[in-house]
Amino acid sequence: MMIVDAASWILLAGGAGMCVIGGIGLLRFPDVYTRAHAAGINDTLGSWAILLGLMLQAGLGLVTVKLAMIGLFMAFVSPVTGHALLKAAYAHGVGVRTDEGEDEHVD
């Protein structure tokens, strides 16, 4: 149980750290496309590491099944939401910002 506890703690701390990294990227990246890339860290590695750590704490049972369902749902929903968001931003004419300034996208 000691090893399972240690693995769970590592996963929880690592997941929370990944979430904070994603939040920092969300705050500091220059345009909406790169910010969505930073938010992807939250949706994938951050949330799955935290959910896996909680699964190790819970052991086999209904709680683990619920956690797995949350993780599975995030795995399906996060790409759909990101795709819809960025497609809407692109269709709306949001440009890409580079070091040289903001470029309007070209079709």
Q: How far is the CB of 105 from another protein (least distance, A)?
A: 13
**Rounded to a whole number, what is the distance in angstroms from the first to the last CA of the chain?**
57
CA gap 59, 63 in Å, rounded: 8
Contact code string over 50-89 relative to another protein, x by CB under 8 A = xx-xx--xx----x--xx-xx--xx--xx-xx--xxx-xx
> In the chain, how long is the greatest CA-to-CA distance?
57
Task: Provide φ and ψ at 91, rounded to 5°.
Answer: -65, -25
DSSP state at residue 61: S
Q: Is 19 in the site for another protein (CB under 8 A)?
A: yes
| Binding positions for another protein, rule: CB under 8 A | 8-9, 12-13, 15-17, 19-20, 22-24, 26-27, 32, 35-36, 39, 42-43, 46-47, 50-51, 53-54, 57-58, 63, 66-67, 69-70, 73-74, 77-78, 80-81, 84-86, 88-89, 91-92, 94
